[in-house]
Amino acid sequence: MTQVQVLVLLLACSIAINIGCAAGLITVRIGSGWARALLVGGGATGTALIIFFAGVAAYA
């Protein structure tokens, strides 16, 4: 992998983690428990990464 590809992957992971944290915090804020917030945040993180990897696969 080139240096640019590594940096893009790190950026995608960072964005996915931010999306997951935001989704989890919103879930806690609306009154759900921490367990549900963790599941929602993990699902949002996974979904964001799947969309990124699907885009990379379609481009390649």
In a domain, 46, yes or no: yes
Please give the Cα distance from 8 to 31 (Å, whole number): 35
In a domain, 56, yes or no: no
In a domain, 30, yes or no: yes
**Domain tally, the chain:** 1
In a domain, 60, yes or no: no
Beta-carbon contacts of residue 27 (< 8 Å; ≥ 6 apart):
36, 37, 40, 41
Please give the Cα distance from 10 to 4 (Å, whole number): 10
In a domain, 1, yes or no: no
Range of the domain at 42: 13-51
In a domain, 29, yes or no: yes
Sign of the alpha-carbon dihedral angle for 10, 11, 14, 15: negative
Q: Quote the pLDDT of residue 1.
A: 79
In a domain, 3, yes or no: no
Kindly report, residue by residue over 12-60, the tens digit of the pLDDT. 999 999 999 999 999 999 999 999 999 999 999 999 999 999 998 998 7
| Residue type present at position 15 | I
In a domain, 57, yes or no: no
- Of 6, 18, 12, 2, nearest to 54 (Cα)? 12
Q: Quote the pLDDT of residue 42.
A: 97
This prediction's pTM: 0.86
